[in-house]
Amino acid sequence: MAAGLDAAEGLTGKPGRPLRAARLRLSGFFWRHRWAKGLLLLAPPLLAFALVYLASLVALFISAFWTVNPFTTAIEHIWNLDNFRTLIDSGAYRTIALRTIGIAAAVTLTDAVLAFPFAYFMARVASARGRAFLFVAVLLPLWSSYLVRVYIWRLILNQDGVLNWMLNKVGLPNQHLAYTNFAVWLIFSYVWLPFMILPVYGALERIPHSFIEASRDLGAGGFATFRRVVLPLALPGVVAGSIFTFSLTLGDYVTPLLAGGASSQFIGNVVYSSVGISNNVPFAAAFATVPLIVMALYLTIARKLGAFEAM
């Protein structure tokens, strides 16, 4: 076909003809060789993925087995397990890892509980216009900087902040919420909520109405329908959302730094101070493998639960 067109082109005798001919030959080549088309499409992202993403991960993992010279803080390329030994032996790092994972899990659970009814309303109850409005409402906070939102929470929770001002107005005592792990949990739950609502909405929207009708026709009550039809079908969406909320919390260090108290260090904070204050990149790399392993386990479980089909 390409050749035929080529010949027809040749008869018209318009200027710019050789260029067009070459283009057609090229498209002909790709039409005949499908693999070449695939390669061309995938090459740039694959290359970027391999070079930028995988290479840096490998570099991270390798440097975890080095140490720094304590006095000059230059990296010494001697293979050893000192960093991992320190991590395991020191109670402080265990506490920090457990705190990070614990708060990430709590945030995920909170967001799942908050997001489900909201997404259900969006998908199955709201009118088309109402749904559009709710979409905007969910996405609107994402338009402002993450930092701004954390600072706003600080203003709310401060000793002399908005919350205590309101509590005092109705005669309730001051609450000391600022700079606590509670504040960290609260802010994370707020900041990552949209990332839970959207996949859950997607999963709920895909449940055909006929399934629910069938369930009711077969005599199941509202609760049984929810438990045995809606929930199992929506679960992959919840798990997909939880991947976002869990991993985002796991890797964060800004919120604990700004809103945390005397015992609010996250893995990310230790990584940050290892690099920025102690100049100990290998130790930071070693600690950074902990969330990597946690996420690998988490994703394996999520895959089993069918989360990847819901994304």
Partner 1 sequence: MIRIRRAHVLVAALAVALCVPASGISSGSGLPTSIGKGEGQLNLVAWEGYTQPQWVKPFTKATGCKVNAKYAGSSDEMVTLMRQGGGSQYDMVSASGDASLRLIVGKDVQPINVNLIPDYKNFIPALKSPPHNTIKGVHYGLSLQWGPNTLLYNTKKVTPAPTSWSAIYDKKYKGKVTVPDNPIQIADAALYLSKTNTSLGITDPYELNKTQFDAAVALLKAQKPLIKKYWGLASDEIDLFKNGDAVIGASWPYQTNTLIAAKVPVKDLIPREGATGWADTWMLSSHAKHPNCAYMWMKWVSTPKVQAQQAIYFGETPANPKACTIMNKLSPGSAAQYHCGASAKYFSSIKFWKPPIADCGNGKKDCMDYTQWQQAWTQLKG
Give me the residues that bind partner 1 (CB under 8 A), please: 67-73, 82, 86, 90-92, 95-96, 158-161, 176, 178-179, 257, 260-263, 265, 270, 273-274, 276-280, 283
Q: 89 vs 217, which CB is nearer to partner 1?
A: 89
Nearest distance in Å: CB 311, partner 1: 36
Q: 18 vs 70, which CB is nearer to partner 1?
A: 70
Q: 71 vs 143, which CB is nearer to partner 1?
A: 71
Q: 144 vs 159, which CB is nearer to partner 1?
A: 159
Nearest distance in Å: CB 276, partner 1: 7
Nearest distance in Å: CB 295, partner 1: 23
Nearest distance in Å: CB 163, partner 1: 12
Nearest distance in Å: CB 246, partner 1: 22
Q: 27 vs 279, which CB is nearer to partner 1?
A: 279
Nearest distance in Å: CB 74, partner 1: 8
Q: Are 261 and 181 in contact (CB under 8 A)?
A: yes
- Taking alpha carbons only, the member of 119, 110, 107 closest to residue 197 is 119
Q: 71 vs 79, which CB is nearer to partner 1?
A: 71
Nearest distance in Å: CB 180, partner 1: 9
Q: 179 vs 298, which CB is nearer to partner 1?
A: 179
